[in-house]
Chains A and B, each alone.
Chain A
């Protein structure tokens, strides 16, 4: 009884919240276009806003990489045809100006890491799935949730505007190290671009924090009756921990950014000491550029896990549903997520082995870094064992989830190389590192995101995406991804962030390889356009979803109507009686979370030696009597 009243209270809180948000207080049914699609407080709409903004940014960010790959692959070619787009940034000889090449890679990295794989991935799926999968009407605060999107939007606008600055956007790398990024005289992108970059990132941090507060609070407070923490679907655990990591690491980037803004604009010397520019000594004294690196990577390393954790969660769910098997090692999956979350905070200095740090401290970071491979490997083995002897359905989301596992392994292995400081001394800042993090983070997280989009598209839009195009997209992408990043490992002595290596005889042997990689990169971009077309076309013209639960999945989002309204469930919120992974149990293909345990059944994780065959026998008896 008391539980019922609290649920009611939740509902009431939401209702009052709601009135609050739209002070004019009109009802769901006749909302204006603006309150329904633009300033919406419905988590499902906000999720779609994150997704569409993320897709637009992905096209921009990916497009930039095609531009700089062309310069890299064809260093001698005449690229004057890019003039209409890039204008003065094409040199008279027809090359991309070196400072603009650096701006391109900087923006590429920033956009993909923050706007696409953080906001577009965790913003989309945390928003969409948390309330639906835990059985809540909406996020704890719809209003704060809406603010989170709009801060992201503002941040996007500032970053976009910086492209049109006369001196170009930020060009000192997505990590924005000082002194290069602290001194306007150091690079043209540092004149004004970095200020825009920093303002944009500060707004982005606000967005992440507002979003994260909601995700955490919602998971803690608004789970439906019976939804214990150890019955949650794995994506929810992943989103929850991602939000926790974000809440603890992004504020440090905020501090780092504020210090950098001061150094740039107010003449402080937090990061600056003994600097000569153009032969002239600067007055700045007393600071340390290494301090910035520590602050940055204290965010930066957790950030890479902020990107990959949601993808891991999504892949776990998709692999289980489409192999009709419970996820292998559910509890181990949760504890490994936890371990990764904790460890991600104590490995940051592996990005700084080359800063002249004390080798003893370096070796401590080596150890922690290598330890983080253990929970990562636990997850990989669990995914593989989930597939093992499963009744595998090779649907597009499943293909992408399997692709995710493959890419995560391929990229993770090289992490172990890099984690050893003695090897990293050779490999640091080369294409080997580029290959490592693109496979393990860049492409793998994209695959997790695609798995999620293909899997939940029918839920989001009430229609299916085109299957043939989806398969073309999958094969094109995975083949190109490996063609791009596998050969990059051979470029393990080639320094990154150089517009051309033509001046160095040693690197002449990579000319053809670079051209090859560029061709693969362009092809891969083309395959993404197929996805974009498929996505937008299917929103309006896709095959209509007829079934409420097309995948025969156990989780709660599939108990909502095909096109759920604001509030998700028309009637009462369902109650949950079991974990999310009862597939192929007791002779049944799947048992929804809402179905009470039968009298002979023992809940997953409870002790007791249940014999499957016994239970089936009993149940059959039951049916007969």
Chain B
């Protein structure tokens, strides 16, 4: 048993073929995502370093780190305070759009053009809702007086970090929505079908799940901790 595994590994790496049995495009996407992990890590570590240098949350100290329940409690069209309700909705939208992306990839494997269009379409809508919600949240917070320099809820560093990091993530989501829309059109006009495979959807799927995963960390940093 072990011997066969070993000899397979040897053959896999002996040239003339892809050792992972994966096309170059997908390998590139994987390495790009690993690399992008490091740019997010750089930002999140900066967040951690700056946050730890500030006084922890303390009702009595207006310069201490703010309480997320206090900062994020608005929901569009509703009055009153609903701590973290809206961001929960955003998070579910994004996770749901990851699920629809998985379905789009599956339909691609089955060479079902209509199925790809349907599920990819839902993914795009999910992404748009997320970006739109973020726009709402930003404008609401700006309205409340939070900017990249100031923060009525506590330590001013919170504002800069929040806008920078959620902005960087939102930028990734927007790029993903654009790429998905492009792939939607390509599918619509049958370009992938003629190519004989929907690998492009798979690659975009990897990117989309990654953006989703990163959100979990961003969410953790700003809304939960």
Chain A interfacial positions (CB closer than 8 Å to B): 3, 6-7, 13, 134-135, 140-141, 144, 209, 212-214, 216-218, 220-229, 247-252, 254-256, 258-259, 262, 266-270, 283, 285-288, 291, 294-295, 298, 575-576
In Å, the complex CA distance between A135 and B16 comes to: 9
CB neighbours (8 Å) of B35 from chain A are 209, 212-213, 247-248, 250-251
Q: How far is the CB of B74 from chain A (nearest CB, A)?
A: 24
In Å, the complex CA distance between A91 and B157 comes to: 42
Contact in complex: B16, A224 (CB < 8 Å): yes
CB neighbours (8 Å) of A213 from chain B are 28, 31-32, 35
Contact in complex: B16, A140 (CB < 8 Å): no
In Å, the complex CA distance between A248 and B41 comes to: 11
CB neighbours (8 Å) of B36 from chain A are 251
Q: How far is the CB of A224 from chain B (nearest CB, A)?
A: 5
Contacts A262-B160, A286-B157; A13 near B15 (Cβ below 8 A): no
Contact in complex: B155, A140 (CB < 8 Å): no
In Å, the complex CA distance between A220 and B22 comes to: 10
Minimum CB distance partner of A268 in chain B: B160
Interface string of B125-154 (1 = CB under 8 A from A): 000000000000000000000001100000
CB neighbours (8 Å) of B24 from chain A are 13, 140-141, 217-218, 221-222
Which 7 A-B pairs give the minimum distances between C-beta atoms?
A255-B42, A225-B16, A251-B39, A268-B160, A227-B15, A140-B24, A286-B157
Contact in complex: A287, B157 (CB < 8 Å): yes
Contact in complex: A268, B28 (CB < 8 Å): no
CB neighbours (8 Å) of B18 from chain A are 6, 220-221
Q: Is B27 an interface residue (CB 8 A)?
A: yes
In Å, the complex CA distance between A413 and B124 comes to: 57
Contact in complex: B50, A268 (CB < 8 Å): no
Q: Is B14 an interface residue (CB 8 A)?
A: yes
Main secondary structure of the interface of B (DSSP, over half): helix
Contact in complex: B38, A6 (CB < 8 Å): no
CB neighbours (8 Å) of A227 from chain B are 14-16
Q: How far is the CB of B46 from chain A (nearest CB, A)?
A: 6
Contact in complex: B155, A286 (CB < 8 Å): yes
Would you mind naming 8 contact pairs between A and B with Cβ atoms under 8 Å apart?
A217-B28, A225-B14, A248-B34, A255-B43, A266-B148, A286-B156, A291-B49, A291-B50
Contacts A247-B34, A248-B34, A252-B39; A144 near B28 (Cβ below 8 A): yes
Interface residues on B, range: 35 or more
Q: Is B53 an interface residue (CB 8 A)?
A: yes
Task: Give me 6 other A-B pairs in contact (C-beta within 8 A), A226-B14, A259-B164 excluded.
Answer: A216-B31, A247-B34, A252-B38, A285-B156, A286-B156, A575-B16
CB neighbours (8 Å) of B59 from chain A are none
B38's partner among A3, A248, A285 (CB-CB below 8 A) is: A248
In Å, the complex CA distance between A250 and B45 comes to: 15
Contact in complex: B28, A259 (CB < 8 Å): no
CB neighbours (8 Å) of B69 from chain A are none
CB neighbours (8 Å) of A226 from chain B are 14-16
Contact in complex: A223, B16 (CB < 8 Å): yes
CB neighbours (8 Å) of B156 from chain A are 269, 285-286
CB neighbours (8 Å) of A222 from chain B are 24
Q: How far is the CB of A113 from chain B (nearest CB, A)?
A: 20
- Residue with the greatest number of chain A CB neighbours at <10 A, chosen from B28, B34, B53, B54: B28
In Å, the complex CA distance between A262 and B46 comes to: 13
Contact in complex: A256, B148 (CB < 8 Å): no
CB neighbours (8 Å) of B16 from chain A are 3, 6-7, 223-227, 575
CB neighbours (8 Å) of B164 from chain A are 258-259, 262, 268, 270
